Structure 1
Amino acid sequence: FMRILLLPKECSNFIRVLQPYNQTHLYICGTGAFHPICAYLEMGKRAEDNIFRLALHFENGRGKSPYDPKMLSASLLLDGELYSGTSADFMGRDFAIFRTLGDQHPIRTEQHDSRWLNDPRFIGVNLIPESDNPEDDKIFLFFKENAMDGEHTGKATIARIGQLCKNDMGGHRSLVNKWTTFLKARLMCSVPGLNGIDTHFDELQDVFLMSSKDPKNPVIYGVFTTSSNIFKGSAVCMYNMADIRRVFSWPIRPQRWAHLPVGALPRESSLPRPGTCPSKTFGGFDSTKDLPDDVITFARGHPAMYNPFSQLVVGQSGGGGRPVRCLYMGTVLKVVTIPRESWHDLEEVVVKIQSQQLYLGSALGVSQMSLHRCEVYGKACAECCLARDPYCAWDGAECSRYFPTAKRRTRRQDIRNGDPLSQCSDLQSVFGVENSSMFLECSPKSQRALIYWQLQKPNDDRKIEIKLDDRVVHTDQGLLIRSLSQSDTGIYHCQAVEHGFIQPLLRLNIQVIPTQRLGDILPGIPGVGGGTGHSAKHRVWYRDFLSLLDHPELNSVEEFCDRVWKKERTTEEGEDPQWEEPGQNRQHQWPPEL
């Protein structure tokens, strides 16, 4: 009777399943005014096709979409099969995890058994490979449900992570068309407090899997809120697959009402262990239909793991070469997680939401927000650095979008420390190798100004004028040191003087690496540690090493060498000196003899 008195808006068709079916179609399901229906939506293969056509064929949506739009459900379409966690009846009492579509008979969790599912609300469904063998692939479900008897949590709601095998075909005699590999564990997110009192976040709200180089080991982020009426709060917890697999490996939670004695396990001859997928990887059986009946019986009565999976409260963009992760929470926060020593010791930095686009869905519609708005951090280098936004960096003129492929000299950002003193100071550090050449470029903007160079030795406040000779040459473009020595270490000051006005133009902290030390670190370098000749490999190393030198105007010393070599060649030939553009084909010796 209560269901008859529905509000008009509840009789709409609320879309609850929207999954890619193939290259041209989406599979969609909706509540259909408490009569779930599904259909195929043609989108075209390319964006320019401009197709949005609903197929005339409709399918029954029972077991795919909930009846009630208020009920939480989750789904995943994989290899033509739809995995759904939803309610399967009009009254919202029969909750199950289904696999429908495809060529196989539909399969589901045990019906009306609170040990399997106890009034669940589903959050997400994901595929995570177990090994390189597809037969071991597992489906993981994230949901929250009422606590079971005997868990002694004192909490009405707990978060869960469930797993089942993708190749589960159900049992032969027992659990026919029912999952035989379904297991679940408690997913805990808490903050330890004084006197052993923990703050628990039990209401799982959302889950995000961040992929890694190894598809078998994504990082899982969960967003939680509290269920307490006294303390209100939210948290983000991070989990790794190694810990999850460890929890699902053993032991099974004993049940007083199970068919077998309390804590009893299947006989050794009855392996595989419950939850193991039938495959050639771990031996055992070819199909779940071949499993012995006592294994099926044990799995039927013991779906829950004994140990909970817990983690303390804690995205990925490359910020200055270090791994950081960005979490977009709600509609107003972007949180950057930065590892101190490891990913178990994190620092969180809240930054303003930025422009790639972030799309946010709600009951009112879809909103578009920008991920990159670096200009909001102001015009100063310090403000850009203190923002600690991995999408932004100081480019020498303004706070602009960070590009990982940009040259190192064009970006300044310190996500880990946010230290403007080290990033925004006009003192730049440059490294050179003993006996190699170095060019310090510094030229005045005014043609009438004179340039003076001074050197400040380490641990000395005095500045001495640099003596020019055959080894140290002053040009209109800067200072050339033909052969570096240990005595060249120090801070170089370049100043422009005009009509008695002194303008500092550049400060460089030159550090000279001894040749013998370089040979110990990188043996086989030409002329260092016994290496001889200038092979192609050595030339590449020499170029890459010199590219680390942070010159104000040049991308690397290689570019300077190109220019100096071109100037000397054209001068000797009686031509007008012209700078050769770096990167052109050259047949001269490398490195140039300066």
Structure 2
Amino acid sequence: MSRTVLLLLLLLLLCGPAAGRPPPAATPRLKLAFPELRARHGLRLFALERSCCYEALLLDEERGRLFAGAQNHLLSLALDDISQRDRKIYWPAPVEWREECNWAGKDITAECMNFVKILHPYNRTHLYACGTGAFHPVCAFVEAGQHAEEPIFKLDPRRTEDGKGKSPYDPRHAAASVLVAWAGVPPSALSSMTPAGSTSPSSWPFFGCRRSEDPDDDKIYFFFRETAVERQQGLGKTSFARIGQICRNDVGGQRSLVNKWTTFLKARLVCAVPGPDGADTHFDELRDVFLLQTRDKRNPLVYAVFSTSSSVFQGSGVCVYTMADIRRAFLGPFAHKEGPNYQWVSYQGRVPYPRPGMCPSKTFGTFGSTKDFPDEVIQFARHHPLMYNPVLPHGQRPLFLQARRALHLPRIAVDRVTAADGHYDVLFIGTDVGTVLKVVSVPKESWHRMEPLLLEELQVFQDASPITSLQLSSKRQQLYAGSATALAQLPLHRCGAYGKACAECCLARDPYCAWDGTACTRYVPSTKRRFRRQDVRNGDPNVLCSEDPRRGSVPQKQLYGVEGSTAFLECVPKSLQARVLWTYQRTPDDPQREVPTDERVVRTERGVLLRSVQRADAGLYFCHATEHGFTQPLLRLSLEVIGARQAAGKAPAGDPQLAAGPPGRKVWYRDFLQLVERPPLGAADRGCQRLWSRGRPPPPPRAPAGAPGRGQGAEPRKARRRRTHEGPRAERGPRSASPW
């Protein structure tokens, strides 16, 4: 087989339907820019001078405060309005640490600072904070008071402790942690233990904790990504998304794995788009994770954001996982390397007792501590940390996809909303261009198959800086976002922005909003009102809006066009997902026909452009919006075409009525056209006019149209030139048949 054939086969594999055709980019229904959010929709901002990097956010509903970590600062802001009643703590790195950092070759103005990376509630009165400390990680306790009315926010710089193993050294590195009572071990030892068999994970974007019925069986679940060789040996090292599990009472081994986790297990998190030929497109770069609490606190839903490291296409996806699927993976077979090529297979040999990954329990077992585990269990855990079965997402595919090459989704927060027809999960996804995507998950055919609806794209930060943190308050209905430059606060809903009609509110399918009979307002489940209309699942205005008194009323607009010039029929629906349809009728009695497009009639995103208006273009135009199977009229536009001579205020001799326009009606456009034909004099022109008036007699007055001019009643030279240029068309008159 020649090299050419081999190259063609390789291109087919790389550019096949599964790898080379990413899903189309999602279009938001409503897109709001920064100025509009700031002026009309309650966007509030907070920023410190000579500071940056608002990454660590801690939302405290009881105190009514938003605690934030930044460069050299700790902040306490009011949840109702982050721009008011702020409290600050200046927490810089010591001078000697900064100088040592600078001697190591770091930038003293950008890197040798104390970037606060971690914030946790420690008890009822104190917080626990950690920062980079100019590449010398440091942690401290912050007194924040117990109640909202207590104006306490202070840190004792003399009572700090080593932050190594808790906060990163480099401010560019991400950090995540969970603060738990670790079997009597102080919090400083939480992150100093490392997993057995791990291949040095590149990042640990999230930690999660689950409590079981047996306190001794409590486990910690954490999410990370790592580079490893798995399954296909010929491809080399590949990035994998992982979920890890350890026991909360793991204190390490007695003789081996000392100060290392002995109960550590990991499984692969799969988030992929199934391909038509069986080849899946994987999103393997884990970015962020959000745990959505349900009624069963032991079984939260796990929402995870991924991106792809593929060189074929770029995109991001959101997958959701259940705790039942996660437990099933960790109770399944272990992965094992076997054969001459060390292929990963399911381990079929004997598994020692207690099963690796089980927690020591004095109540239900014979081992009171991990130090009592047999050496056989410790060695098996060291060499078999990986589970063979991966954790698959709910529905076997991503819940939401965004295939735009220049857009990544680094952060996510989820709110469970009660609507009239059930509970819906609303996703707020932060992007790397300073926007927030608002997505609602609705059942497509059943509650087991969900469909994402991209409701809004909101420009939260004007400078388009990436969103580095998200916090959500369901109680106050507010979203809080952090970036490198500022903190932002935004309401979760903007019901009035969807429109002023029942159909527009219904088509939005926003579980926060409902039609109350007069406007699109916030939906409150406990409120009982006769005219309240909401249907998130179907969003059918034909059923919900039949009693709307304004249904059928269409805004009207009058437009004038000059024959031979251009005219623009503008109509922009509020929904970017709506398809616009234009119809036309010459008289009210004629049937409506769709406006065709050709070289003279051009469709644009904002309307229809008539490049050369004709007399037959006059008539009634209707702009319709079709969305979700529902068509509604948006605008009724009446176009009146003015003849070129009539527009210029001149008419052929013997037709003064055409020149003057309709009786008793002022031709408003005549003055404007005369200005275009003879614009006002500039400064140089006025000077020449003064010189002319001094040295020469004034020019003779211009004869009116139709009056005798110079010579033997000849018409003016300008009018003669115009008639010669126009030719016989000016005498042809308007056409009677429609050009369409």
Q: Tell me which interval the TM-score lies in, with the shorter structure as reference length.
A: 0.5 to 0.7
- After superposition, the Cα gap between the structure-2 partners of 1:274 and 1:265, relative to the gap in structure 1 and judged at 3 Å, is farther
- After superposition, the Cα gap between the structure-2 partners of 1:106 and 1:195, relative to the gap in structure 1 and judged at 3 Å, is closer
1:15 corresponds to? 116
Structure-1 separation of matches of 2:518 and 2:347: 70
1:524 corresponds to? none
Structure-2 separation of matches of 1:266 and 1:273: 13
The Cα shift of 1:394 comes to 0.5
2:228 corresponds to? 147
The Cα shift of 1:106 comes to 7.4
Contact 2:253-2:370 within 8 A present in 1 as well: yes
The Cα shift of 1:81 comes to 8.2
2:424 corresponds to? 324
282-291 vs 38-47, which moves further: 282-291
The Cα shift of 1:305 comes to 1.0
Structure-2 separation of matches of 1:32 and 1:350: 41
2:713 corresponds to? none
Contact 1:100-1:107 within 8 A present in 2 as well: no
2:487 corresponds to? 366
Pair 1:101-2:222 in alignment: no
- After superposition, the Cα gap between the structure-2 partners of 1:241 and 1:425, relative to the gap in structure 1 and judged at 3 Å, is same
1:156 corresponds to? 238
The Cα shift of 1:72 comes to 2.3
Structure-1 separation of matches of 2:283 and 2:103: 32
1:229 corresponds to? 311
- After superposition, the Cα gap between the structure-2 partners of 1:290 and 1:81, relative to the gap in structure 1 and judged at 3 Å, is closer
Contact 1:167-1:277 within 8 A present in 2 as well: yes
- After superposition, the Cα gap between the structure-2 partners of 1:256 and 1:78, relative to the gap in structure 1 and judged at 3 Å, is same
Q: Deviations over 1:408-459 (max 9, x none)?
A: 535211100111111111299xxxxxxxxxxxxxxxxxxxxxxxxxxxxxxx
Structure-1 separation of matches of 2:285 and 2:489: 27
The Cα shift of 1:256 comes to 6.2
SS of the aligned residue for 2:496 comes to: helix
Equivalent in 104, 108, 132 of residue 4 of structure 1: 104
1:313 corresponds to? 398
1:346 corresponds to? 450
Structure-2 separation of matches of 1:410 and 1:325: 25
Equivalent in 376, 384, 387 of residue 505 of structure 2: 384
Structure-1 separation of matches of 2:346 and 2:392: 23
Structure-1 separation of matches of 2:193 and 2:103: 26
2:266 corresponds to? 184
Contact 1:353-1:372 within 8 A present in 2 as well: no
SS of the aligned residue for 2:270 comes to: strand
Q: Deviations over 1:206-255 (max 9, x none)?
A: 10011111111111000111111220111100100111111111211114
The Cα shift of 1:386 comes to 0.4
Structure-1 separation of matches of 2:338 and 2:150: 60
Aligned positions of 1:473-484 closer than 5 A: none
SS of the aligned residue for 1:296 comes to: helix
Structure-2 separation of matches of 1:106 and 1:193: 40
- After superposition, the Cα gap between the structure-2 partners of 1:377 and 1:248, relative to the gap in structure 1 and judged at 3 Å, is same
- After superposition, the Cα gap between the structure-2 partners of 1:154 and 1:211, relative to the gap in structure 1 and judged at 3 Å, is farther
Contact 1:107-1:170 within 8 A present in 2 as well: no
Aligned positions of 1:42-61 closer than 5 A: 42-56=143-157, 57-61=159-163
Equivalent in 140, 155, 170 of residue 68 of structure 1: 170
Structure-2 separation of matches of 1:226 and 1:3: 38
Pair 1:425-2:546 in alignment: yes
Q: Deviations over 1:15-71 (max 9, x none)?
A: 111111111111011111100011111111112112110123110111111111122
Pair 1:137-2:218 in alignment: yes
247-256 vs 201-210, which moves further: 247-256
Contact 1:265-1:298 within 8 A present in 2 as well: no
Structure-1 separation of matches of 2:398 and 2:316: 10
Structure-1 separation of matches of 2:254 and 2:183: 21
Q: Deviations over 1:504-555 (max 9, x none)?
A: xxxxxxxxxxxxxxxxxxxxxxxxxxxxxxxxxxxxxxxxxxxxxxxxxxxx
Which has more radius of gyration? 2
- After superposition, the Cα gap between the structure-2 partners of 1:165 and 1:47, relative to the gap in structure 1 and judged at 3 Å, is same
- After superposition, the Cα gap between the structure-2 partners of 1:127 and 1:4, relative to the gap in structure 1 and judged at 3 Å, is same
- Structure 1 regions of 5+ residues with no counterpart? 83-98, 429-594
Structure-1 separation of matches of 2:161 and 2:264: 27
Counterpart of 1:55 in structure 2: which amino acid? D
If the length of structure 2 is used for normalisation, what is the TM-score?
Answer: 0.51
- After superposition, the Cα gap between the structure-2 partners of 1:211 and 1:154, relative to the gap in structure 1 and judged at 3 Å, is farther
Structure-2 separation of matches of 1:281 and 1:391: 47
- After superposition, the Cα gap between the structure-2 partners of 1:282 and 1:154, relative to the gap in structure 1 and judged at 3 Å, is farther
Equivalent in 134, 154, 158 of residue 33 of structure 1: 134
Counterpart of 1:333 in structure 2: which amino acid? L
Counterpart of 1:405 in structure 2: which amino acid? S
- After superposition, the Cα gap between the structure-2 partners of 1:150 and 1:422, relative to the gap in structure 1 and judged at 3 Å, is closer
- After superposition, the Cα gap between the structure-2 partners of 1:342 and 1:184, relative to the gap in structure 1 and judged at 3 Å, is farther
The Cα shift of 1:157 comes to 1.3
Structure-2 separation of matches of 1:107 and 1:62: 8
- After superposition, the Cα gap between the structure-2 partners of 1:305 and 1:230, relative to the gap in structure 1 and judged at 3 Å, is same
Counterpart of 1:134 in structure 2: which amino acid? P
SS of the aligned residue for 1:245 comes to: helix
Equivalent in 288, 294, 304 of residue 206 of structure 1: 288
SS of the aligned residue for 2:277 comes to: helix
Structure-2 separation of matches of 1:309 and 1:264: 18
The Cα shift of 1:283 comes to 3.3
- After superposition, the Cα gap between the structure-2 partners of 1:389 and 1:154, relative to the gap in structure 1 and judged at 3 Å, is farther
Pair 1:398-2:502 in alignment: no
Aligned positions of 1:453-492 closer than 5 A: none
- After superposition, the Cα gap between the structure-2 partners of 1:317 and 1:237, relative to the gap in structure 1 and judged at 3 Å, is same
Contact 2:165-2:191 within 8 A present in 1 as well: no
2:473 corresponds to? none
Counterpart of 2:167 in structure 1: which amino acid? S
2:247 corresponds to? 165
2:440 corresponds to? 336
Q: Deviations over 1:123-171 (max 9, x none)?
A: 1001012x31121111011111112355647663111100000011211
Counterpart of 1:313 in structure 2: which amino acid? P
The Cα shift of 1:186 comes to 0.8
Contact 1:100-1:106 within 8 A present in 2 as well: no
SS of the aligned residue for 1:74 comes to: coil
Counterpart of 1:327 in structure 2: which amino acid? L
The Cα shift of 1:120 comes to 2.1
- After superposition, the Cα gap between the structure-2 partners of 1:341 and 1:81, relative to the gap in structure 1 and judged at 3 Å, is farther
Pair 1:277-2:362 in alignment: no
The Cα shift of 1:178 comes to 1.4
Structure-2 separation of matches of 1:262 and 1:423: 56
Contact 1:159-1:186 within 8 A present in 2 as well: yes
Structure-2 separation of matches of 1:165 and 1:202: 26
Residue identity (%)? 53
Aligned positions of 1:543-582 closer than 5 A: none
Counterpart of 2:543 in structure 1: which amino acid? S
Counterpart of 1:138 in structure 2: which amino acid? K
Structure-1 separation of matches of 2:178 and 2:111: 25
Structure-2 separation of matches of 1:411 and 1:145: 51
Cα root mean square deviation, aligned = 2.8
SS of the aligned residue for 1:289 comes to: helix
- Size of the aligned set, in residue pairs, is 403
Contact 1:146-1:156 within 8 A present in 2 as well: yes
Counterpart of 1:423 in structure 2: which amino acid? L
The Cα shift of 1:407 comes to 1.0
